[in-house]
Amino acid sequence: MAKDRGVNWRFLLEWQTPTSAVLHVIKRVIYSGRTKYQEVDILDTYDFGLCLVLDGKIQSSSADEQVYHVALVHPAMLTHPKPSRVLIIGGGEGATLREVLKHNTVEKAVMVDLDDEVVQLCKKYLPEFHMNSFDDPRTEIIIEDGRRYVERLPDNSIDVAIIDVTDPLEGGPSYLLYTIEFYQLLAKKLGDGGVFVTQATSTYYSRNCFAAIYKTVASVFPVARTYHVFVPSYASEWGFVLGSKAADPLSLTSEEIERRMKERGVDNLKFYSPSIHHGIFALPSCLAQAFEAAKPVTDSSPVFMSA
Amino acid sequence: MAKDRGVNWRFLLEWQTPTSAVLHVIKRVIYSGRTKYQEVDILDTYDFGLCLVLDGKIQSSSADEQVYHVALVHPAMLTHPKPSRVLIIGGGEGATLREVLKHNTVEKAVMVDLDDEVVQLCKKYLPEFHMNSFDDPRTEIIIEDGRRYVERLPDNSIDVAIIDVTDPLEGGPSYLLYTIEFYQLLAKKLGDGGVFVTQATSTYYSRNCFAAIYKTVASVFPVARTYHVFVPSYASEWGFVLGSKAADPLSLTSEEIERRMKERGVDNLKFYSPSIHHGIFALPSCLAQAFEAAKPVTDSSPVFMSA
Amino acid sequence: MAKDRGVNWRFLLEWQTPTSAVLHVIKRVIYSGRTKYQEVDILDTYDFGLCLVLDGKIQSSSADEQVYHVALVHPAMLTHPKPSRVLIIGGGEGATLREVLKHNTVEKAVMVDLDDEVVQLCKKYLPEFHMNSFDDPRTEIIIEDGRRYVERLPDNSIDVAIIDVTDPLEGGPSYLLYTIEFYQLLAKKLGDGGVFVTQATSTYYSRNCFAAIYKTVASVFPVARTYHVFVPSYASEWGFVLGSKAADPLSLTSEEIERRMKERGVDNLKFYSPSIHHGIFALPSCLAQAFEAAKPVTDSSPVFMSA
Amino acid sequence: MAKDRGVNWRFLLEWQTPTSAVLHVIKRVIYSGRTKYQEVDILDTYDFGLCLVLDGKIQSSSADEQVYHVALVHPAMLTHPKPSRVLIIGGGEGATLREVLKHNTVEKAVMVDLDDEVVQLCKKYLPEFHMNSFDDPRTEIIIEDGRRYVERLPDNSIDVAIIDVTDPLEGGPSYLLYTIEFYQLLAKKLGDGGVFVTQATSTYYSRNCFAAIYKTVASVFPVARTYHVFVPSYASEWGFVLGSKAADPLSLTSEEIERRMKERGVDNLKFYSPSIHHGIFALPSCLAQAFEAAKPVTDSSPVFMSA
């Protein structure tokens, strides 16, 4: 398939819908196996470098994991005036952790992931993703279901919560981390100025899912905002929903963002900078329509990514 | 491949690079043939509806052609205070024309396309794309090489020029519409407040090409800006470069955009609205780096889309 | 995908099973549409030339249709001592007819096909397949369901019957042409020395279907034999079942076959010759086992190709 | 792609030509790596079970390796009246060895394979292929280039030689095992009644290569015969060429084959039986034509598989 057809015979097809997919030629299979929870492939691809693939879906790639992880972490961290205690749910690669730890305000970063094997595989095979963030003295890794862990947390005990889990798929391990009950629980555990952010699936292929997550967050948090960035290895623009108990990311000026970044020692971010902050929150009219139609979702009537 | 595997056997693979592609299941082949200049497929796909495919690349689809055409046309049209004489180069589907004609300031819209057969096929098979814009009394269709047509134009004879041609591919019909010589020619033909915009390929897969087009435009026009939108059927964020002899799109306030849209009778645009205008112009830091490294290109040393 | 990746974007995937397929790059779509009964694609492929594709399955290709049609027709025709009245069911391409008419003993060849549109499309687009056999004065074309036509036939009115219909698929138009009831009906219409042959699906991918067809024929005809040939465009060895009221193809010597061919003016056959006659009837031990396990099938309990 | 699309994302595309391929959904990647000589994948597929894949080409699969290995080994072994000293070149899986050792006339079976890593991987991951034949006291495994090993052998020192190496690809490790010089060398090392057999690529996709191998063998050995069997995982009928210094496989009666098998304790072979022996040697007329056109090949003007 490449000019030298002879070297191409292993393919990954990542299905966006039952009738469309992205095809990647695989250069090398680094690891392929099944954990207690999911199938894991770590693949070296020609176009996106190393990819972590869970149940057939690319979670992150060398080529653009920074776009995704930077976009996930920093708007929420910067919206909080002084994020000290940070909770990450999911984030097995350690890259979300890596971005969180860039803020020198952080005293404690707890990462709760369900799947120990995935965490160990990422530690071993994806050092450029975690950059030793697992060994940072501020880091604590807990292997447990994220929601159960949150239930056990004291109220008002975290400043920023970042939900970096797989998409809400029927029968998958994550869909109960996208419901009103979970967000209510989380709101109680967040301190007064608490900020929360979640990945929110594709703005195109699962627009209704994205919209439903937004509506659900908006029904719990006084401030709810969405933003989106194009993530090439997802072949889609990706949505994020931010909920906040006080501060509004749209009220932050570029100057204030720049000041906070400098103060906290956060610089040289790939993709994100103060000048694009407001742009990524701007909502195209077609998305605005989907948002109007959506409704909050509950444990008993969850939303699933359409695919 | 769809749940009912039985009905899926015709596929389109659109290659982004020699080692990655997007796969679409084809529901129906509406037309498939070769014109004097290129291979044309009009395909009905499950996920993007009707697609116009030239030489194996999706040019536009029912599902999102409005995103692309709206994004291509309106920022430039709105940057000009009173666009009356508009030139479109390419745009065979008639959808760019359709968007241009929405501005009631337009007195004359000339569309110059190289390939009469493509224009006729679009007329026949894609009525929802052109919406009879070919029959608008303000419309003139000219079948000719775009550059040669521009050479013949009197100076100061157009207000807005929109370049909606295929990507600059080696050996393809369009790469000489992306050079400094062509932009200089165009600048002469534009009136004093003239504005020009060109599609500028993928911001990811052909980032260097996008950057080179920007640098080339910037070397000719006093104002040069880039913007980008995610176009799902291109599986990528898409870049645009706007050159202007006077007005700067970044200086337009949302209120002014809203006022101009109302005045000109432009409303209900899919995707674009005054509130997202500034967001799409915001440049991620990774693109900013590519821009620094790029250089203007000339007829004798053209840029080609990397693929 | 070819060395020049640029020219390859249209693909046919012919599924052998839900998890394996043969991929063909399409050079040109000659025709693509839907008749009353099925979807029809006539495709020009790089490797097999023109292909007639019904409901996503290659029926015959320029490259090897002679292998299939020669193998289907001549063993049965040569087993009959003097085939004069020949019935073909299916065979829309006209290629089975073409082979039948090579025997100068034939006075009447009736071809009964369900789908007039397919016959017309083959006439128009596949002249090298039918070689004007539709216009032979001995030819009669009838558009009707094959089984209904056979019901109306007088007893003892045909010498050789050739069943060249699509595979027995659930919900498809052909599965009732593979049952004991149909074969009993056919046996009555055949004269005393009557011979019948049917295509019998893949010897590998639908081995049990092949075996069931054999058992069904064997329960009706005193002589029942299977043979198989490799048909490249089917990516499989293909099975045939021959039923005979008197003569046994295995009792024919090569000399007798040669004599009959010469006498009847049949020569220069691609693939078949007297010297391979016995070889194609030899049954590998793995197939013999499948045959032991199979049972005859009836209208009310039909066999379907596994796929 | 399977009915449950969700579980299918890893694919093997085995290219037959630059424009056609067989697609297999991979259930599990057992091993994937690169040895000194080639890329090795051991894959569990839905349709063919475990597959050994070298440089992207399936060498053998659980589902049908017996068809290939039985067809490769027994016609040559049975043509020799008393095969005692057997040489295998290639055959890393140990399955050719397994078949050879079924003949109780064998006192010594030497297997010479270039790639120790492949042999070790097969030992570890493909026990059902070798069935412990590596541990048979009559077995000797030598890691060396096959041709160099043959050069060192004393004359008249082997009874049967079996060439089970990869296809003759330009730049590959095997093409010098298909030339007149190699066959002359081999003929000297074979005893008076010596028999040799080689796999000889696809009878369809590389027909000219098959024909050239035949012509080359025929220019060295007094008896040269070809035969072919359909190997499903190769999606093709596969050719073999047998060269013999005395006995002719076509002169063996089925009774004699049956007698020899019984005498030597060879029974229950999948695919092969005395009754199909002559059938597989029968040459279709289309192949006969290719054979006429072919010429013997030499070290300096080798033949390559067309693909």
Q: Does C194 score more than 90 pLDDT?
A: yes
Residues with Cβ < 8 Å from C169, sequence gap 6 or more? C55, C175, C304, C305, C307
Per CB-CB distance under 8 Å, the chain B contacts of C6 are 15, 55-56
Question: What is the share, in percent, of chain A residues with pLDDT greater than 90?
Answer: 89
pLDDT band at B306 (very low <50, low <70, confident <90, very high): low
Chains with 3 or more CB pairs closer than 8 angstroms to B? A, C, D
The string of pLDDT tens digits covering residues B166-225 is: 999 888 889 999 999 999 999 999 999 999 999 999 999 999 999 999 999 999 999 999
Structure tokens at B141: 């269709």
Taking only residues 65 to 94 of chain B, the set having a beta carbon closer than 8 angstroms to any beta carbon of chain C reads none
Answer whether C7 touches A (CB < 8 Å). Answer: no
Q: Does C276 score more than 60 pLDDT?
A: yes
A-interface mutation test, from D5, D8, D9, D166, most A Cβ less than 10 A away: D9
The predicted structure's pLDDT at residue A134: 98
The CA–CA distances, whole Å, from B113 to B98, B119, B147 equal: 15, 8, 10
Residue spans of alpha helices (H) in B15-82: 65-79
pLDDT band at A201 (very low <50, low <70, confident <90, very high): very high
Contact D87, D202 (CB under 8 A): no
Cα–Cα distance for residue pair B225/B283, rounded to 1 Å: 10
The CA–CA distances, whole Å, from A223 to A251, B43, C58, C132 equal: 11, 44, 59, 77
The predicted structure's pLDDT at residue C7: 54
Per CB-CB distance under 8 Å, the chain C contacts of D46 are 17-20
Strand order in the sheet with D236-244: D139-143, D108-113, D85-90, D158-164, D190-202, D236-244, D223-231
Contact C238, C230 (CB under 8 A): yes
Nearest CB to A18; choose among B1, B19, B20: B1
Residues of C known to be catalytic:
164
Per CB-CB distance under 8 Å, the chain B contacts of D3 are 3, 5
pLDDT band at C304 (very low <50, low <70, confident <90, very high): confident
Per CB-CB distance under 8 Å, the chain A contacts of D13 are 1, 8-9, 11
The whole-angstrom distance between A46's CA and the closest CA on chain C is 15
Question: What is the share, in percent, of chain C residues with pLDDT greater than 70?
Answer: 97
Contact B104, B96 (CB under 8 A): no
CB contact under 8 A, B13 and C1: yes
Give the mean pLDDT of A277-284.
92
Cα–Cα distance for residue pair B115/B113, rounded to 1 Å: 6
Q: Does D2 score more than 60 pLDDT?
A: no
Per CB-CB distance under 8 Å, the chain B contacts of D1 are 1, 5
Per CB-CB distance under 8 Å, the chain A contacts of B284 are 67, 229, 271-273, 276
Q: Which of A41, A115, A159, A164 is catalytic?
A: A164
A23 pairs with which residues across the strands?
A13, B21
The string of pLDDT tens digits covering residues C17-44 is: 889 999 999 999 999 999 999 999 999 9
Give the mean pLDDT of A117-144.
98
Question: What is the share, in percent, of chain A residues with pLDDT greater than 70?
Answer: 97
Q: Does D216 score more than 70 pLDDT?
A: yes
The predicted structure's pLDDT at residue C285: 83
Q: Which of B55, C2, C196 is nearest to A4 (CA)?
A: C2
Could you confirm whether B164 is annotated as catalytic? yes
The predicted structure's pLDDT at residue A305: 82
Q: Which of C76, C78, C50, C54 is nearest to C65 (CA)?
A: C50
CB contact under 8 A, C11 and B13: yes
The whole-angstrom distance between C266's CA and the closest CA on chain D is 14
Per CB-CB distance under 8 Å, the chain D contacts of C232 are 204-205, 236
Q: List the single residue in C with minimal CA-CA distance to A9.
A: C1
Answer whether B29 touches C (CB < 8 Å). Answer: yes
The whole-angstrom distance between A147's CA and the closest CA on chain C is 37
Q: Does A204 score more than 80 pLDDT?
A: yes
Q: Does D61 score more than 90 pLDDT?
A: yes
The string of pLDDT tens digits covering residues B76-117 is: 999 999 999 999 999 999 999 999 999 999 999 999 999 999
Cα of first residue to Cα of last residue in chain C, in angstroms, is 27
CB contact under 8 A, A29 and D32: yes
Cα–Cα distance for residue pair B34/A207, rounded to 1 Å: 37
Q: List the single residue in B with minimal CA-CA distance to D6.
A: B3
pLDDT band at A272 (very low <50, low <70, confident <90, very high): very high
Q: Does C196 score more than 60 pLDDT?
A: yes
Cα–Cα distance for residue pair D198/D181, rounded to 1 Å: 15
Answer whether B300 touches A (CB < 8 Å). Answer: no
Give the mean pLDDT of A81-100.
98
The predicted structure's pLDDT at residue A303: 86
Residue B30 has phi, psi (to 5 degrees) of -80, -45
Positions of E strands within D91-157: 108-113, 139-143
The predicted structure's pLDDT at residue A86: 98
The predicted structure's pLDDT at residue A158: 98
Please state which of the four CATH numbers 2.30.140.10, 1.20.1280.260, 3.30.1330.10, 2.115.10.20 is assigned to the domain occupying A5-61: 2.30.140.10
Give the domain ranges of chain C.
5-61, 65-293
Q: What is the residue-averaged pLDDT of chain C?
A: 94
Q: Which of A68, A106, A102 is nearest to A86 (CA)?
A: A106
CB contact under 8 A, D22 and C235: yes
Structure tokens at D49: 């079970």
CB contact under 8 A, C29 and B9: no
Answer whether B237 touches A (CB < 8 Å). Answer: yes
B-interface mutation test, from C10, C24, C59, C125, most B Cβ less than 10 A away: C10
The string of pLDDT tens digits covering residues B128-177 is: 999 999 999 999 999 999 999 999 999 999 999 999 999 998 888 899 99
Nearest CB to B47; choose among A13, A20, A282: A20
Instruction: Decide which of D288 and D117 is more confident.
Output: D117
The string of pLDDT tens digits covering residues C140-173 is: 999 999 999 999 999 999 999 999 999 998 888 8
Q: List the single residue in B with minimal CA-CA distance to D9.
A: B1
Cα–Cα distance for residue pair D307/D288, rounded to 1 Å: 22
The whole-angstrom distance between C24's CA and the closest CA on chain D is 5
Q: Which of B164, B192, B248, B299 is catalytic?
A: B164
Cα–Cα distance for residue pair C192/C157, rounded to 1 Å: 10
Helices (H) and strands (E) in chain B, counts: 10, 12
Q: Which of D164, D192, D248, D267 is catalytic?
A: D164
Answer whether B157 touches C (CB < 8 Å). Answer: no
Q: Does A4 score more than 50 pLDDT?
A: no
Q: What is the residue-averaged pLDDT of chain B?
A: 94
CB contact under 8 A, B204 and A16: no
Q: Does B296 score more than 90 pLDDT?
A: yes
Q: What CATH superfamily is the domain A65-293?
A: Vaccinia Virus protein VP39 (3.40.50.150)
Per CB-CB distance under 8 Å, the chain D contacts of B5 are 1-3
B134 pairs with which residues across the strands?
none
Neighbours of D200 (CB within 10 A): 28
At B15, which amino acid appears?
W
Q: Tokens 């599965």 sit at which residue?
A: C175
Q: What is the DSSP letter of B151?
A: H
The predicted structure's pLDDT at residue A7: 53
Q: Which of D299, D255, D292 is nearest to D277 (CA)?
A: D255
Nearest CB to D15; choose among A5, A12, A14: A5
The predicted structure's pLDDT at residue C1: 34
Which uninterrupted H or E stretch holds D74? helix D65-79
Cα of first residue to Cα of last residue in chain A, in angstroms, is 27
Give the mean pLDDT of D102-126.
98
Answer whether D5 touches B (CB < 8 Å). Answer: yes
CB contact under 8 A, A7 and D56: yes
Give the mean pLDDT of D141-156.
98
The predicted structure's pLDDT at residue C256: 98
The predicted structure's pLDDT at residue A306: 64
The predicted structure's pLDDT at residue A42: 98
Neighbours of D38 (CB within 10 A): 18
CB contact under 8 A, C271 and D286: yes
Cα–Cα distance for residue pair C186/D185, rounded to 1 Å: 60
Identical fold, A5-61 and A65-293: no
Structure tokens at B40: 């044309």
CB contact under 8 A, A2 and C1: no
Per CB-CB distance under 8 Å, the chain A contacts of D32 are 10, 28-29, 32
Q: Does B236 score more than 80 pLDDT?
A: yes
Answer whether B13 touches D (CB < 8 Å). Answer: no
Answer whether D7 touches B (CB < 8 Å). Answer: no
Contact D287, D207 (CB under 8 A): yes
Cα–Cα distance for residue pair C291/C302, rounded to 1 Å: 17
pLDDT band at A288 (very low <50, low <70, confident <90, very high): confident
Q: What is the dihedral of CA D146, D151, D157, D160, to 10 degrees?
A: 40
Q: Which of C289, B190, C279 is nearest to D229 (CA)?
A: C279
C219 pairs with which residues across the strands?
none
At C129, which amino acid appears?
F
Contact C153, C159 (CB under 8 A): no
Cα–Cα distance for residue pair A213/D35, rounded to 1 Å: 49
Q: What is the residue-averaged pLDDT of chain A?
A: 94
Cα–Cα distance for residue pair C111/C139, rounded to 1 Å: 8
Answer whether B169 touches A (CB < 8 Å). Answer: no
Which uninterrupted H or E stretch holds B40? strand B39-45
Q: Which residues of A49-81 are buried (b: 16+ CB within 10 A; e: fewer)?
A: bbbbbbbbbbbbbbbbbbbbbbbbbbbbbbbbe
Q: What is the DSSP letter of B282?
A: P
D-interface mutation test, from C10, C20, C267, C291, most D Cβ less than 10 A away: C20
CB contact under 8 A, C273 and D285: yes
Taking only residues 256 to 285 of chain D, the set having a beta carbon closer than 8 angstroms to any beta carbon of chain C reads 269-273, 275-276, 278-285
**DSSP secondary structure letters along D173-212:** S-GGGSSHHHHHHHHHHEEEEEEEEEEEEETTTTHHHHHH
The predicted structure's pLDDT at residue D306: 64
pLDDT band at B124 (very low <50, low <70, confident <90, very high): very high
The whole-angstrom distance between D159's CA and the closest CA on chain B is 49
**DSSP secondary structure letters along chain A:** --SSGGG--EEEEEEEETTEEEEEEEEEEEEEEE-SS-EEEEEEETTTEEEEEETTEEEEETTTHHHHHHHHHHHHHHHSSS--EEEEEE-TTSHHHHHHTTSTT-SEEEEEES-HHHHHHHHHH-HHHHTTGGG-TTEEEEES-HHHHHHHSPTT-EEEEEEE-----TTSS-GGGSSHHHHHHHHHHEEEEEEEEEEEEETTTTHHHHHHHHHHHHTTSSEEEEEEEEEGGGTEEEEEEEEESS--GGG--HHHHHHHHHHHT----SS--GGGHHHHHPPPHHHHHHHHH----BTTB------
The predicted structure's pLDDT at residue A283: 86
Q: List the single residue in C with minimal CA-CA distance to D22.
A: C22
The CA–CA distances, whole Å, from A152 to A146, A157, A196 equal: 10, 11, 18
Residues with Cβ < 8 Å from D4, sequence gap 6 or more? none
The string of pLDDT tens digits covering residues D255-304 is: 999 999 999 999 989 889 999 999 999 988 888 888 999 999 999 998 88
Which uninterrupted H or E stretch holds C210? helix C207-218
Chains with 3 or more CB pairs closer than 8 angstroms to D? A, B, C
The whole-angstrom distance between C7's CA and the closest CA on chain A is 12
The string of pLDDT tens digits covering residues C67-84 is: 999 999 999 999 999 999
CB contact under 8 A, B8 and A19: yes
